[in-house]
Structure formats: C-alpha cells, structure tokens
Amino acid sequence: MTSPRTTLFWAPRLLGIVFIVFLSLFALDAFNDFHGFWPAIVAFVIHLIPSFVLTVVLLVAWKWEWAGAILFCGAAACYALIAFRHPSWVLTISGPLVVMAALFFASW
C-alpha cells in the first residue's frame, strides 16, 4: 500500500505524461492535408510545439514543484486566453493543466 505522500508525489507527474501524450495525438492531424512528405513533417513538428513546451515544463516541475504549479497554471491561463471562443476546448486543455498545477502545489 502506498502512502498518501507517495501518491501525491507521483500523481501530477503521471498525469503530466498522460496529458502530453494526449495533446501529442492532435499533431497527427497534420497528416490529413497531405501535400507531400516534407510539408507534412514540418506541419507535424509545428503541431508538436505545445507538447515540447509542456515537456520542458514537466521536467522543471519534476525538480521544483512550486515552479511547476506556477508554470502549469500559466499554461492553462495562456491557452484559455487564446481559445476563449471555444469553451469546450478550454475545459479540455486548461482543465487538466489547472489540476496538475494544483497537484504540484499540494506536492510542494
């Protein structure tokens, strides 16, 4: 049986990994409008930029939980500002980011 402290340590980290994988799946949309091999690869990499950024945020958060709480909360706010016209998108993307921020804060 794991202790609550261990669970609180691993929960935001595992949720972060799962969320980044989930977000990365949207990059596969770049292959729908196939205009050649290299343009598709470039579009794929561009679509992966948010996943790369969140991976860096997760790596920082892994070491410094307080920084992770701030950065994940900031990422949620930035996305909410960008996609404010699509409330369901904001809930789908910013919601888990806020949960991760709260879990990193609690872990700290």
* Global pTM value: 0.87
Return the pLDDT at 12: 95
State how far the Cα of 105 lies from the Cα of 8, in Å rounded to an integer.
Answer: 10
Q: How far apart are CA 90 and CA 76, in angstroms?
A: 8
| Percent above pLDDT 70 for the chain | 99
Instruction: Give the 3-state secondary structure percentages of the chain, helix then strand then coil, rounded to 5.
Output: 85, 0, 15
> Tokens representing 78?
């930035």
Residues 83-107 pLDDT 10s:
989 988 899 999 999 999 999 999 9
Residue 70 pLDDT exceeds 90 = yes
Q: What pLDDT shows up at residue 3?
A: 85
Mean pLDDT throughout 35-57? 91
**Which pLDDT value is given to residue 82?**
93
